[in-house]
């Protein structure tokens, strides 16, 4: 959750910096890069959390059989 908040803060700060600067074209490119990097990080975190829950549930099921 903390990573998500910092990601949103970086994007919003970047947008304000771009509005104040004159190189708007380059800002859109880097903003898109931030967006894709953020999506990749969030997807990795979700996969990691899902694996942890999967292994916990799997261990519980194995224990319940015996």
What per-residue confidence (pLDDT) applies to 12? 73
pLDDT in tens, the chain (66 residues): 667 777 777 777 766 666 655 555 566 666 677 777 777 777 777 887 777 777 776 666 655 555
What per-residue confidence (pLDDT) applies to 52? 73
Structure tokens at 7: 């990601």
Structure tokens at 18: 């771009």
Q: pTM for the full model?
A: 0.38
Structure tokens at 13: 């700060």
Q: Which residue is it, tokens 């908040």? A: 5
What per-residue confidence (pLDDT) applies to 9? 78
């Amino acid at each position: 959750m903390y990573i998500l908040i910092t990601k949103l803060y970086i994007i919003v700060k970047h947008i304000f910096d771009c509005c104040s600067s004159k190189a708007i074209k380059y800002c859109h490119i880097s903003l898109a890069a931030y967006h894709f990097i953020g999506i990749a990080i969030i997807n990795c975190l979700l996969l990691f959390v899902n694996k942890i829950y999967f292994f916990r549930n799997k261990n519980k099921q194995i224990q319940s059989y015996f």
